Every structure is written in C-alpha cells, then in structure tokens.
Amino acid sequence: MREICINEIAKSWLSIANALPDDNIIQILVLENIASYVDWIELDLVANDYIMSHIISKFQNSATSESATSAVCALLEKGMSAEKKVGLTLTIMTVLRQNGLLNVTDNDDEDEVTRVGSLVNTLGLVLLDVQNK
C-alpha cells in the first residue's frame, strides 16, 4: 500500500507544480514537500530527470531558490550506500556547476551567498561522510 501511495505522491508533485507554474507559494510548498519525503522514499522517485529539472529551474527565482536548495540538500543527505551517494553527489555537483549555481560574484546579495554556501557545505559534508565509510 505504501509503495503505491508514495508513487502517486511523487507523481503529484510535478502535476501540482506544472498546473500553477507562476504561483510561488505552490512552488515552495512542492519543493518543501519533496525535501520532507526524500528521506523515506525510493531515490528514483526524486533523483530523476523530471524532478531534478524542476528543482534546478526553481533556483532562478529568488522566491523559490531557498526551497530548491533545501530539496537538493535533503536529497544529498539521504541515506544510501557509499557508491550510490558518490555517484549522486557527482551528478548533482555537475548539474549545479553547469547551471552556474555554485558561483558567487561581488554583485550577489546575502541570500545568494548563503544559498551557495549551503550547497557547497552539504556537498562537502556528504563527501566527507562517504570517505569515512
């Protein structure tokens, strides 16, 4: 039963987000929901092209970037084998770099610097955790 319900919940995230793409509150709630569920659902339900593309796209909006950061950090902190975690971390790091989401400039505001710092910190902690395992 739980498997069926969780699959439906994961599918509903994008349906809801795509139904109201300009509603920042809905987008934030979807991202926060993803971050909340990521610990106890199958990795493939979150770490896929559809969900990750949605999350990455929300970094571009200052209203949703903090929630997008939380979703990515929750995904990186998810419990899994060291091999899977390294692969996931490297993939996410590559996507973040390709989208310029790990860069800070002199013109960035405090929120942007905090967001990048949170991502870099989580990436570093995850890699240290894997090394210790």
Q: Tens digit of pLDDT for each residue in 51-91?
A: 999 999 999 999 999 999 999 999 999 999 899 999 999 99
pTM exceeding 0.75: yes
Half-sphere exposure of 38 (CA within 13 A, CB side): 24
CA distances from 9 to 45, 46, 51, 55, 125 (A): 10, 11, 12, 16, 29
pLDDT tens for residues 6-36? 888 888 999 999 999 999 999 999 999 999 9
- pLDDT, residue 2, reads 63
Q: What is the mean pLDDT of residues 107-119?
A: 93
CA distances from 54 to 26, 32, 94 (A): 13, 13, 16
- pLDDT, residue 133, reads 79
Label residue 4 by pLDDT band (50, 70, 90): confident
- pLDDT, residue 40, reads 83
**Residue 3: is its pLDDT beyond 80?**
no
Burial of 84 (0-12, 13-18, 19+ CB in 10 A): middle
Report the 10 Å Cβ neighbour count for 33: 18
